[in-house]
Amino acid sequence: MSTAVSPKILELGALRRICSGCSLRELCLPAGLDNDAIAALDEFVQKRQDIQPQEMAYRAGDPASNVYAVRLGSFKSYRMRKNGDIQIIGVHLPGELFGLDALASEQRQVYTEALEKSNICALPVGDLERLSHQIPAIGRQMMRLMARELNNSYEEHELLANDSALTRVAKFIWRYAQRRQQVGLQYRQFDIAISRQDLANYLGLQVETVSRAFRELRDRKVITASRSKLEILDPDALQALIRKE
């Protein structure tokens, strides 16, 4: 029940060059590391894995043995309450790490599930800790990434504590687009694999309220949106919404 990701065979020559040859190397864990450090990292990064929609990277209670990097696709992380309700606490896009909480405890505290067909790299925690010791730059980079996570959580706190439903949705879309832009993906027009229900849950709203926010944005000609297709028609208007309301 624990492991769920099905490994995929890569051509032999690539095994040694996972990070070095990755298009996300400037944005992922290797960012800012020199070639030697990346070479060392390459030795430990598990091979890439395909993962299907609704497949779990891990579940709460699993041994927390890896940190993961998203290469392709997207994921949601959530906690589960005793009554079975879930609370989505994060969405992970290409170039981002997830499962960093693994460094706190032996067991996973959250669930992380693929929202669409995706591809990830697994980084064994034990190796990371050993590597951090051998190559300080890697340890520092890990710290940096965790601290970035913390800062993200502060922004989420602000959003949940202050913003109206419309602003929450606008911010989500805006930030989603920004995050895509950072890794060189289309950011004016793209798919959001997350469902309205999940988005509502994440933003602390009801589905109906999210739906109305989307309609409002559509009516104002800020975006077009059907199911998972999204296009930003008026980025300035979107930004204005975020700053004012």
In the shown chain, the binding pattern of residues 136 to 165 toward its own copies, with x for contact by CB under 8 A and - for none, equals x--xx-xxx-xxxxxx-xx-xxx-xxx---
Q: Rule CB under 8 A: is residue 227 a binding residue for its own copies? A: no
Shortest approach of its own copies to residue 139 CB, angstroms?
Answer: 6
Per CB under 8 A, contacts with its own copies among 194-213 are 201-204
Beta strands in 146-201 (DSSP E): 189-191
Whose Cβ is closer to its own copies: residue 146's or residue 207's? 146
Q: Which residues, at least 6 apart from 191, have a Cβ–Cβ distance to it below 8 Å? A: 116, 228, 229, 230
225 binds, among its own copies, DNA, none (CB under 5 to 8 A by kind): DNA
**Nearest-angstrom CA–CA distance, 103 and 50:** 24
- Minimum distance of its own copies from residue 130's CB (angstroms): 8
Contact status: 60 vs its own copies (CB under 8 A)? no
Pick out residues in 145-164 that bind DNA (CB under 7 A): 164
145-173: b (≥16 Cβ within 10 Å) or e: bbeeeeeeeeebeebeeebebbbbbbbbb
**C-alpha torsion angle, residues 217, 197, 151, 123 (rounded to 10):** -130
Relative to beta strand 66-72, strand 75-80 is unpaired
Name the binder of 166 from its own copies, DNA, none, CB < 5-8 A by kind.
DNA
The binding site for DNA (CB under 7 A) comprises 164-166, 195-197, 204-212, 214-215, 225-228
